[in-house]
Each structure stands twice: as structure tokens, then as C-alpha cells.
Amino acid sequence: MPISPKEAREKRRASCTTEYLMHVEKIDAELAEGGRTISVEGMSTPCQEAIAEAYREAGWDVTYVPDWRDGDYFQFAERA
């Protein structure tokens, strides 16, 4: 049976639960303080995709930027 988009998102989130929660806690704290560029280290691809999707669902425009020199980061912007 084909998987729905919602089921796919839930499976991605479930595959990285501990990592997901750790990063979301950090991102939430930085967003609450006004930060919009938030560095992340050692994030797996499934977790990166799950986090970006979750914040998009919450109303943010999210861009993940891999930067091997200075470290990967997310760029957040409020949707109008």
C-alpha cells in the first residue's frame, strides 16, 4: 500500500527521535531570542528533513545550508 506524505513525515521523525528533540529544543530557544540563522552540527539527513518540514508546518520559511567550512545551519524567516 502506498505511503501518504503524512506517514512519510512521521516515519522520518520517528527514525531520529532523540536527535530531533535535541535540535528542536536548541532551535526553539534561539528563535525565541530572535535568532534567525541557527547552526547545527552532526545532523543526519532524515532529521534535517524532518526538522525543516516541522518548522514549515509551523509557519516558517526554512532553508538548510550545508557549509563544510563554517558548519551547517538553518536559515529561518517568518512567513507574511
Can you give the pTM of this predicted structure? 0.80
pLDDT one-digit tens code per residue, 15-34: 778 888 889 999 999 999 99
Domain count, the chain: 1
Is the pLDDT reported for residue 8 higher than 80? yes
Q: Which domain holds residue 40?
A: 5-78
Q: How many CA atoms lie within 13 A of 63 on its CB side?
A: 8
Mean pLDDT for the chain overall: 89
Task: Calculate ∠ Cα 14-54-35, nearest 5°.
Answer: 125
Is the pLDDT reported for residue 13 higher than 80? no
